[in-house]
Structure 1
Amino acid sequence: MNILSFFIYCAIVTFTPGPTNVVILSTVHNSGVKKAMEYTFGATIAFGILLSISATLNVALVTVLPTIMPAMKVIGGLYIAYLAVQIFRIKSSKQVANHSLTSTFMAGFLMQFINPKVVLFTLTVIPSFVLPYYTSSLMLAMYVLCITLIGFLAFITWILFGSIFKDFLQKHQKATNIVMALFLLYSAVMVSGVL
């Protein structure tokens, strides 16, 4: 397993602006850290549940149809490349923020199930990075916990440094997007098995 590609992919997808992170940033500024933490706990639990569901479904698929793994790796690589293009094209993180969203545990929980970035990430990270090397329940559980922790750390980072990130992203939006997109393209190539 290319552990560097795995961590780069997880970090970029979870730390870069997306609906959940932008809502957290908005919540910090409009409702304070306590409400942002409440929202974050809901988002983290849902993230872990989605990862667990993905691991379970993918193990069943790999056990029943082991020949689909190469295709899943290519699909995962293509999706990661798609994310790189999307990050490169982001104009402003303000476009995603919606101050009318409620900042509750349940809002954070439900957001993960309707957030395409999270759903697609949880469906690709396990088959692309973990299943080609590990299929035991213990190893899958460890990776689900590891990825959930990375997601939680990303959410906490957006809370703690929200205003700094907001200012930085507004000042250096294009440069940040280019760097993140290049890291994602590297991960896409490594996952797809092209090299």
Structure 2
Amino acid sequence: MLGYVLANFFVYAGVNAFTPGPGNILALNTVTNYGWGKGKPLFFGIFAGYYAVQLICAVFVYGVGEFLPHALPVMKYVGAIYILWLAVHIAVSRPEVCAEQGSASFWKGFLLQFVNVKIYMFGITALTGFVTPYSKVLWILIGVEFLIATIGTIATFTWIGGGLLIQEFYSRHYRIINIVLALTLLECIWSMLCT
């Protein structure tokens, strides 16, 4: 059972991290417009912001678990609704790359993550759906959130590394890719609610 939950956690984390989101799209757009050298400050800002937001998520979930312990099981259902919304959104979305993206600064990338609702929901849902049923220890929550931030960083590096190649491939095959990703998220909901 734990192996099943862990497998679904990694599926959820992978789908969430590798699908287009504000950070991945901005990184892709920046590398295609400025290249690696000029884009580095923005990329490192995105990465640092990701870790900072996930730390906030871990402390938030820990605080809720300590002070409102009956809220955590409810948050699992809120997380399941979010994943369902994400699955539908992914299934019907089309590739869009922002043409206007401005400068490639560290602070632009860092601050983007603080308004990126996707990664807050990613972190909180991962903890309440896959971790807190087994452990509510703060250092474990922080460790899992840093794992999530690392997966997210790898995903963003993938978008950076692929540059136009990923953009062109995704643009040609986005419909089937999005449907497969959405279906895998539905499996994640099932595993969350059955634990």
Partner of 2:151: 150
1:172 match: secondary structure:
helix
Q: Normalising by the residue count of structure 2, what TM-score does the alignment of the two structures yield?
A: 0.91
> What are the ranges of 5 or more consecutive residues in structure 1 without an aligned counterpart?
none
Distance (Å, rounded) in 2 between the aligned partners of 1:18 and 1:138: 28
**Residues 16-40 of structure 1: per-residue CA shift (max 9 Å, x gap):** 1111111111111100012333222
Partner of 1:102: 103
AA aligned to 2:56 is I
Distance (Å, rounded) in 1 between the aligned partners of 2:34 and 2:168: 18
Distance (Å, rounded) in 2 between the aligned partners of 1:119 and 1:58: 11
Alpha carbons 1:52, 1:144 under 8 Å: kept: yes
Partner of 1:31: 34
Alpha carbons 2:77, 2:193 under 8 Å: kept: yes
1:90 aligns with 2:93: yes
Alpha carbons 1:40, 1:152 under 8 Å: kept: no
Q: What does 1:100-179 align with in structure 2 at a 5 Å threshold? A: 100-179=101-180
1:51 aligns with 2:54: yes
Q: Which runs of 4+ in 1 moved over 4 A?
A: none
- Deviation of 1:42 after TM superposition, in Å, equals 0.9
1:32 match: secondary structure:
helix
Q: Alignment length, in residue pairs?
A: 192
Alpha carbons 2:29, 2:101 under 8 Å: kept: no
- Deviation of 1:56 after TM superposition, in Å, equals 0.9
Q: For the structure 1 residues 15 and 92, does the alpha-carbon distance in structure 2 shift closer, same or farther, using more than 3 Å as the test? A: same
149-158 vs 131-140, which moves further? 131-140
Q: For the structure 1 residues 60 and 108, does the alpha-carbon distance in structure 2 shift closer, same or farther, using more than 3 Å as the test? A: same
Distance (Å, rounded) in 2 between the aligned partners of 1:192 and 1:158: 31
> What are the ranges of 5 or more consecutive residues in structure 2 without an aligned counterpart?
none
Q: Normalising by the residue count of structure 1, what TM-score does the alignment of the two structures yield?
A: 0.91
Alpha carbons 1:88, 1:178 under 8 Å: kept: yes
1:80 aligns with 2:79: no
Alpha carbons 1:40, 1:105 under 8 Å: kept: yes
1:66 match: secondary structure:
coil
1:21 aligns with 2:24: yes
Identity %: 33
Distance (Å, rounded) in 2 between the aligned partners of 1:75 and 1:33: 38
